[in-house]
Amino acid sequence: MESFIKRLVEYGKAIAVLPALSLFIGAVFLGFYGVYQLFYILSMVFINPEYKDTTKLSAMFITVMDIHLLSVILYIFAVGLYELFVGKLSVPEWLKIESIDQLKAKLASVIILILAITFTKQVVKWEKPMETLLFGIAIAIVTAVLIFYYKIKEHV
């Protein structure tokens, strides 16, 4: 009985296949969605004169970059979960993940990047300066905390 339970728990690592697969499917979907959004924007530039405004166009292209970034992030996490719990993959060295801490560090750096892109979109729109300033301060605080946490974690 003990041997059965041991094998069951050891094969339980296959549970990580589901989240890895769902993240991979999400990454593929977002990749296609980003391409769709890009072609939609390009078509609207030729059809609708209001889309030729560079400020509006900049915000829309930043949104497309955001979608593609999220697609890549989902892929990185799919690879990370698979490598941590299921088995090794043939991926570039920088994408190899050997610990949960490495995966969390990648998540933290990605969160900082997404926050920076989100703030950039807000600045490009420039509708409410005071709210934009407060938003920027909030992002700076979250970024500083994440950086501080990982600097401390490196020395432990």
Does the model's pTM come out above 0.85? no
Q: In this predicted model, what pLDDT tens digit does every residue of 27-67 receive, in sequence order?
A: 999 999 999 999 999 998 888 877 777 777 888 888 898 89
Phi-psi region of 49 (alpha: psi -120 to 50; beta: other; left: phi over 0): alpha
Run of H or E including 79: helix 54-85
Residue ranges of the domains in the chain? 2-154
